[in-house]
Structure 1
């Protein structure tokens, strides 16, 4: 009898999700009409979104209020639309370096300001009042860092409420007594869907409200919304959805907001191949969140079965940017087979508007249970140390004139330069720059070192790894964003 009941619930769920396919497809296909083009980079700041908020303030469709200030004195704004009795509250960027959903929020606001989807918007705005608190941590966003100026994680300040940002979030939640809450974050791009090579492009959690992880109506409704959103994402990012561990964290806002009676959906934006600025993930946020808001307005989520929630794969963290598989590594007269996992680590420039790469080997040995955004089967290839170019060049103009592909083919990964501009903190070339006195140590592969070496087969160098980026020397293009400078 239980199996029959669950089957009926599943059929109901499929029916609900099927009914929403049309609007979801339309939202995805027409996204470029609503994308806010002024904030296309991840490193957005409060000054980037303030003109957008000012514009909404003069639009009678929206209600805009300053609901608090950050430690650094920056405004925290609440943007509301709709007249319905059900309140939906979305807040983003409580971690300053997690901006993907902030961008999607302004895309969603553009959607509400448009003349399109009239019937669907009428259904949403008559039944819901939707509230957006973008960029809860503007000081952290200014520095592109997780924590606020007090140096604390706002998401672990729900009990003590030391920070004004935390106090504002609690005050707004309580004043709205919101029925649904969307807690919007970014996660590491190195998470994968459990036991697969696919990145966890989006991960979800219906946070527990106690240590026993009980499921009441509030949490159950959050699970239903997640099941609904997961089904949407499978259409555009098949197998690329994860689910966070639901151990109760008594200091966290998500867990407490669930406890306080708001059905809370945590959304984490992770990685997507060839999407460094997370613009495809931004589009997925836009499509799935708007679709979820629509199903809340229609109350069609109510018939969705929560048993599908547990079937979403758990988050794992077994992705590298680059994985080298089965290479031969010679050490102390012996040959070994070794896998290497490397991450291309972003380092901000001082203005926090852009970044460069300082890559590292993260792990090595048997990495057969790990995956890579890019993987090279190096069976039959031998790892060779990168050499220093025999001629010392005068300046960067001399370096720029070189044929880098031919130099790399000869196994040179470093060029000595007598005059290195003090303003340069990395090499603008697909090769490392050395000062006149810097001595390259013998290659000793180990976690933590910068990955630079060559792969040779039958006496011919066919691949290079420069600053953690793979170079196929049989192809014409060399895609290494930057090298390092060793003064």
Structure 2
């Protein structure tokens, strides 16, 4: 294409962005007014959604229909609003442990039922009909797991349609003949934007509909909307957007929905520093999806240059929760310099409403091409094992009465407890609790072990790593510490 044709396209693209810039800023600034306060944690359940959905059944602007049931009999509902010719279908949580966008959907519904932003909402609802299917996999959500009650990945059930959830998704898509489909997911917090230390807070994909990865008008429209959304996210999370590999997966719903004629837009919510419950990412979903609906209603996405899609960095997976570099590790009479990559794994509590951490050393060696949400240059520091505090405590009250920092500085990382409560799963202080007969294993730097050790420099302990959490002893700060372990 000649440059004389590129310039007008660029100007049209810039104009399309400028037209929604004020709206996007206003959406971001007023978000708390529409945030659904009852859904403030990731581990949400189907029962929490039903009172909200029932309220929309009674609202004159909304239409709510039961469209199916899960294997365990939980109702799948479609909430619709608008009267426009452009059909937009948004579904979330086909993986039960991916709830960020489910929360954002109810924020969007709150926005749509409000009396605010009248002109913008009129533009959307007169040109589009919006259909929301929140929590497609409620049985998985109940136990906070990816797969459904049958044990299958619903997102790989587009061909056989073995699951009632997959059957519902196909039936609804076909009945709506949706022009656009938003396939809303969560991804691992360990994804980063390629060759950067930035987490992939949001990742996108316009799935391929064949092995050749051809681009027809349907897929091109999805790509253009993604470019639009990327530009919005860059304002609030610069450099924190990734693009999924578009290899064709013939069993996947996104790929097939693209093939069936709906412009499919995959949105994956990843990680954001300090946002364990993904509430800032939820907000970004809310802002970017509403802005996307506006550009779809206006048709302004059509002028966006398609080549901008491939300028979005690819998704990579090279992030750790904690990265320690250049630490000295003594082994068999010699000193070795190593890097450590440490991840904190969530363990569900009974009822699947909360969690605790059981961390692991994820990798060891030269990690110069990897990144960390938190990184410590441990040059000059020697890895030392922690000791057991010689005076046992009787109970939890005795544990909490100890001076944790003083013990860590003195080299103690374990405390014996005579009576460990049966219901306790983890230690609330930065010291591991061990039973009266538990033998502490020798310190090993191996992939898979719990990362607990001290970092000593010139005979002084400067840092402690307890269950994968870095504690700065010089400053007396526990940082983002949540829990230590219990070894009975």
TM-score, normalising length from structure 2? 0.99
CA distance in 1, matches of 2:102, 2:315: 23
Partner of 1:249: 249
Per-residue deviation, 1:267: 0.1
Mapped to 2, the partners of 1:3 and 1:453 lie a distance apart of 60
Instruction: Report the alpha carbon displacement of residue 392 of structure 1 after superposing the two structures with TM.
Output: 2.0
Equivalence for 2:482 = 481
Q: Once the two structures are superposed, what CA deviation does each residue of 1:288-319 show, in whole Å capped at 9, x if it has no partner?
A: 00000000000011111110000000000000
Secondary structure of 2:390's counterpart equals coil
2:444 aligned residue: 444
**Which residue pairs with 2:66 in the alignment?**
66
Pair 1:427-2:427 in alignment: yes
Q: State how 1:182-331 maps to structure 2 within 5 Å.
A: 182-331=182-331
| 1:321-375 deviation digits (Å, cap 9, x = unpaired) | 0000101110000001100000011100011000000000000110000000000
Q: Deviations over 1:192-222 (max 9, x none)?
A: 0000000000000000000000000000000
Partner of 2:80: 80
What's 2:104 paired with? Answer: 104
1:44-103 per-residue CA deviation (whole Å, 9 max, x = no partner) reads 000111110011110011000000000010000000000001100000000000000000
Q: Which residue of 2 aligns with 1:6?
A: 6
Mapped pair 1:140 → 2:140:
yes
Q: How far did 1:136 drift?
A: 0.2
**Counterpart in 1 of 2:384?**
384
- Map residues 28-47 of structure 1 onto 2, 5 A cutoff: 28-47=28-47
Aligned residue number for residue 471 of structure 1:
471
Moved more, 356-365 or 469-478: 469-478
Q: How far 1:476 sits from its partner (Å)?
A: 3.1
CA distance in 2: counterparts of 1:169 and 1:471, whole angstroms: 47
SS at match of 1:359: strand
Residue matched to 1:54: 54
2:402 matched to 1:402?
A: yes
Task: Supply the distance in 2 between the matched residues of 1:485 and 1:198 (Cα, whole angstroms).
Answer: 33
Partner of 1:25: 25
SS of residue matched to 1:450: coil
Distance 1:16 1:44 in 2: 36
For 1:321 and 1:225, the matched residues in 2 are separated by 32
1:453-468 to structure 2, matched below 5 A, reads 453-468=453-468
**SS at 2:165 equivalent:** helix
State how far apart, in whole Å, the 2-side matches of 1:474 and 1:212 are. Answer: 57
Alignment partners' CA distance in 1, 2:11 and 2:120: 24
Cα RMSD (Å) of the superposition? 0.8
How far apart are the structure 2 equivalents of 1:386 and 1:6?
63
Deviates more, 1:414-423 or 1:456-465: 414-423
Map Cα deviations across residues 24-50 of structure 1 (whole Å, 9 max, x no partner). Answer: 111111101100000010000001111
SS at match of 1:144: coil
Query: When the two structures are aligned, how many residues end up with a matched partner?
Result: 487
> Distance in 2 between the 1:84 and 1:313 partners?
34
Residue in 2 aligned with 1:346?
346
Equivalents in 2 of 1:233, 1:206: separation in Å?
A: 17
Please state how far the C-alpha of 1:442 moved relative to its aligned partner: 1.1
Distance in 2 between residues matched to 1:49 and 1:303, nearest whole Å: 38
Question: SS at the partner of 1:35?
Answer: coil
3-state SS, counterpart of residue 391 of structure 2: coil
Question: SS of 1:65's equivalent?
Answer: strand
Q: Which residue of 2 aligns with 1:168?
A: 168
Counterpart CA distance in 2 for 1:10 and 1:213 is 25
Unpaired stretches in structure 1, ≥5 consecutive residues: none
- TM-superposed CA distance for 1:399, in Å, is 1.1
Partner of 1:15: 15
Which string of whole-angstrom CA distances, capped at 9 and with x for unpartnered residues, describes residues 243-282 of structure 1? 0000000000000000000000000000000000000000
Cα deviations across residues 224-245 of structure 1 (Å, max 9, x unaligned)? 0000000001000000000000
> Are residues 1:363 and 2:363 paired?
yes
Deviation at residue 137 of structure 1 after TM alignment: 0.2
CA distance in 2, matches of 1:326, 1:204: 35
Once the 2 structures are TM-superposed, how far is the Cα of residue 478 of structure 1 from its aligned partner?
A: 2.2
